[in-house]
Amino acid sequence: MSMQLAIAIALHQLATVVWIGGMFFAHFALRPSAQTQLQPPQRLALLLAVFRRFFVWVWIAVLVLWGSGFWIFSGIYDAAMGWHVHAMMALALVMTGLFAYLYFVPYRALGQQVAAADWAGAGARLSTIRRIILLNVTLGLVVTVLGAAGRYWQ
């Protein structure tokens, strides 16, 4: 394995950990804790602030994942890719589309509704974001399994 390929794989895995791990933490630890400990104005403001910081890292992770994925693809797979790589790329495309929608539609609306103290509207937006994150974390875990074990299922 070349050093360039090792660097590409390492970057790919780090970006995966940031995105999937962050979504897992937000959905299964942060949100339920905030739900039980904070009233809607504080909870929604907190989650908006968390998303504001986290989504910067997600955009970076998405760029690194696509860039490193194509780097890996061009370096070793070419025409010899296994089915699992095709599945990973297809799911990654779906995940990227879901995140872009989440960012540009419900997340932006959440920010506007929190700023306007529209807690019911903000709660509805947060519910949409929660569902999209749950779907994306599920897809991300499937992609992670494919990346780790897919080549052994040939």
Q: How many CB atoms lie within 10 A of CB 42?
A: 11
Tokens of 123: 């709660």
Quick one: angle between helices 83-102 and 40-72, nearest 10?
150
What sign results for the dihedral spanned by CA atoms 77, 70, 94, 57? positive
Confidence (pTM): 0.92
- DSSP three-state, residue 154: coil
What sign results for the dihedral spanned by CA atoms 104, 106, 110, 113? positive
What ranges in the chain are assigned the alpha helix state H? 3-16, 22-25, 31-37, 40-72, 83-102, 108-115, 119-149
- Percent of the chain with pLDDT strictly greater than 70: 95
Question: What confidence tier does 81 reach under pLDDT thresholds 50, 70, 90?
Answer: confident
Segment 11-63, tens digit of pLDDT: 999 999 999 999 999 999 999 999 999 999 999 999 999 999 999 999 999 99
